[in-house]
Amino acid sequence: MSDAVFLGVDVGTGSARAGLFDASGTMLASAKRDIRMWREAGDIVEQSSEDIWSAICASVRDALAEAAIDPARVAGIGFDATCSLVVLGEGGAPLTVSPSGDLARNIIVWMDHRAIDQAERINATGHDVLRYVGGVISPEMETPKLLWLSENMPQTYGAAWQFFDLADYLSWRATGSLDRSTCTVTCKWTYLAHEDRWDPDYFRSIGLGDLADQDFARIGQTVVAPGTPLGSGLTPDAAEDLGLNPGTPVAAGLIDAHAGGIGTVGAEGSPQSNLAYVFGTSSCTMTSTSDPVFVPGVWGPYYQAMVPGLWLNEGGQSAAGAAIDQLLSFHPAAAEARETARAAGQSLPVWLASRAEALAGAEGVVALAKGLHVVPEFLGNRAPFADPHARALIAGLGMARDADSLVALYIAGLSGIGYGLRQIIETQDRAGASVDRIVISGGAGQLPLVRQLLADAAGRPVVAVAAEEPVLLGSAILGAVAAGSFAQMPDAMGRMTHKSSVYDPDPAAEAVHDRRYDAFCKLQELGRSLRD
């Protein structure tokens, strides 16, 4: 079908987005709807599956209207979503996961850390399965959250018909298929994709033996590769909700960060030579290898979790864009700067970047942060230390309260994000999973200054892709594969992803970033010793 269009649907932490793409990867239209999130005392963060589905349907209909195309042209659909836990009762009815008892709140959001104690108890077992999550499971993953539910809300746990990763919930809602994606269950649920099995002993050893006794019927008995067409395509009900045709092929989905990887790593070189870096609310690093590589503190290796036939190591920072927002909120000049930016029709990051470039001299923007150092681990260290208890450190603050000191804090914070990225890359290098370049996507990484600073701080070229929305493109690529428009995922990636620009590390800034990186590592170590 020469005029075929592919729909990508992305559910992030705060919004649902839909994008329509042609076979060359050109985006024809996109739309976005916000989704609701409840944040309670402590580490509780919850959402509603019904709210998310409604937001998806509205955004798809908006995108179709913007593109002014016949829905019959939509040849395939791909979904991606955060790795949040969805709980459904019989017939697909939402079951509350909330101490509030609100039935609508049936999703434990990925960033919810209520299950830290359960994660620590699971890690204390030392089970062999943990080798495939970097040796340490995270409270962001699903088995600690399931254990929390069984211990703290046994009525919900016992009544649950299905526990879904959010991307798998969306594909079930669209098709009625209970098939899970290797991406979701391998990365977040401990499925051993390279052996095509769950490990019953793991579930029994951590206190979730009932899932094994039920032959894993509640978490997925059939697991398929991303891009695999599910069921008979869109059900009549889902098609009516979305404004599309029944039977439209729907692909097994991806976690949102992995969709960003699919939408970027084909832009230059081989997937194995590129580190996909999704820089949004959190950040995610994804490295593909031909053979399994075990990296302490880095999740994986996961087989076929992103690119078919390859292994994946996944790291990142639990707070990235959110860490910069949090950091800036402390500064006395932040509110005034935000108003100034708004009056100029700019976001605060755009205004700060422009001011930094105007203030920078021959030494570059990093000189603006001289003497100021930030370890931006407000929500723990996802990699390479797998330490959810880590917290942010700031050194070198003075009494300045003006906009220029806010700019300095912004540059120091971004540099800290870059040094965390460098730390992950160097840890993987030592283990044998080296990369030549960083391929970037995500809303927090769109500014040229940010990309250049990341290249300088991490010591690798940063490649930007032509796609305005690489995560949406990644999901659309899934839809193209499910539709049969491309024989394999790499074929679709090669045709639909394109490089736009490259930011090489500045040799003149290498020495200062080396010194600052050394300070970053020392501050991290000091933070651990003070906490302990």
| Pair 226, 89 in one domain | yes
Q: Is the dihedral of CA 153, 158, 163, 169 positive or negative?
A: negative
Structure tokens at 235: 């059900």
274 within some domain: no
Phi, psi of 73 (to 5 degrees): -75, -15
3-state secondary structure of 141: coil
Q: What is the pTM of this model?
A: 0.87
| Pair 248, 336 in one domain | no
| Pair 333, 222 in one domain | no
Q: Contact 483/360 with Cβ under 8 angstroms? A: no
- As a 3-state breakdown, the chain gives helix, strand, coil percent values, each rounded to 5, of 45, 20, 35
Q: How many domains are contained in the chain?
A: 2
Confidence at residue 2, expressed as pLDDT on a 0 to 100 scale? 63
What residues contact 361, with CB distance under 8 A and at least 6 apart? 367
273 within some domain: no
363 within some domain: yes
Tell me the C-alpha to C-alpha distance, in Å, between residue 230 and each of 187, 194, 219, 482. Answer: 20, 21, 17, 8
| Pair 247, 331 in one domain | no
Q: Which domain-ending residue is among 216, 232, 255?
A: 255
Confidence at residue 442, expressed as pLDDT on a 0 to 100 scale? 83
Query: 391: number of CA atoms within 13 Å, CB side?
Result: 6
197 within some domain: yes
Strands 283-289 and 311-317: antiparallel
| Pair 182, 48 in one domain | yes
CA distance 383 to 316: 6
263 within some domain: no
Strand (E) or helix (H) holding 339 = helix 334-343
Confidence at residue 275, expressed as pLDDT on a 0 to 100 scale? 96
Q: Contact 383/134 with Cβ under 8 angstroms? A: yes
170 within some domain: yes
Tell me the C-alpha to C-alpha distance, in Å, between residue 39 and each of 5, 11, 19. Answer: 38, 18, 28
Q: Contact 44/11 with Cβ under 8 angstroms? A: no
| Pair 100, 188 in one domain | yes
Q: Closest by alpha carbon to 471, among 500, 448, 443?
A: 443
| Pair 22, 108 in one domain | yes
| Pair 90, 183 in one domain | yes
CA angle 76, 81, 82 (to 5 degrees): 165
Written as tens digits, the pLDDT of the chain (532 aa) is 469 999 999 999 999 999 999 999 999 999 999 999 999 877 899 999 999 999 999 999 999 999 999 999 999 999 999 999 999 999 999 999 999 999 999 999 999 999 999 999 999 999 999 999 888 899 999 999 999 999 999 999 999 999 999 999 999 999 999 999 999 999 999 999 999 999 999 999 999 999 999 999 999 999 999 999 999 999 999 999 999 999 999 999 999 989 999 999 988 888 899 999 999 888 999 999 999 999 999 999 999 999 888 999 999 998 999 999 999 999 999 999 999 999 999 999 999 999 999 999 878 999 999 999 999 999 999 999 989 899 999 999 999 999 999 999 999 999 999 999 999 999 999 999 999 999 998 889 999 999 999 999 999 999 999 998 999 999 999 999 999 999 999 899 999 999 999 999 999 999 999 999 999 999 999 999 998 7
CA distance 442 to 158: 38
Distance between alpha carbon 444 and the CA centroid of its chain, in Å? Answer: 12
Q: Is the dihedral of CA 397, 398, 400, 404 positive or negative?
A: negative
| Pair 250, 115 in one domain | yes
| Pair 61, 208 in one domain | yes
Beta bridge partners of 286: 276, 314
Q: Closest by alpha carbon to 82, among 37, 124, 125?
A: 37
Torsion of CA 162, 86, 302, 78, to 10 degrees: 100
Confidence at residue 147, expressed as pLDDT on a 0 to 100 scale? 98
What residues contact 150, with CB distance under 8 A and at least 6 apart? 157, 207, 208
364 within some domain: yes
3-state secondary structure of 501: strand
Structure tokens at 262: 């699919």
456 within some domain: no
CA distance 169 to 102: 20
Phi, psi of 510 (to 5 degrees): -60, -45
| Pair 92, 228 in one domain | yes
What residues contact 140, with CB distance under 8 A and at least 6 apart? 83, 110, 111, 112, 113, 188, 318, 382
CATH number at residue 241: 3.30.420.40
CA angle 262, 478, 320 (to 5 degrees): 40
**Structural domain boundaries enclosing 414:** 321-380+389-424+508-531
Q: Which domain-ending residue is among 204, 232, 255?
A: 255
Q: Contact 336/172 with Cβ under 8 angstroms? A: no
What residues contact 64, with CB distance under 8 A and at least 6 apart? 20, 29, 71, 74, 243, 244
Beta bridge partners of 439: 276, 463
| Pair 330, 250 in one domain | no
Give yes or no for a cis peptide into 376 (omega within 30° of 0).
no
CATH number at residue 399: 1.20.58.2240
Tell me the C-alpha to C-alpha distance, in Å, between residue 95 and each of 91, 160, 321, 485. Answer: 11, 7, 31, 38
CA distance 189 to 141: 7
Structure tokens at 390: 């880590």
CA distance 280 to 257: 9
Beta bridge partners of 33: 16
Confidence at residue 26, expressed as pLDDT on a 0 to 100 scale? 96
Q: Which domain-ending residue is among 255, 277, 309?
A: 255
For residue 246, the tally of other CB atoms under 10 A from its CB is 13
Torsion of CA 497, 31, 16, 286, to 10 degrees: 10
3-state secondary structure of 320: coil
H helix and E strand count, the chain: 18, 21
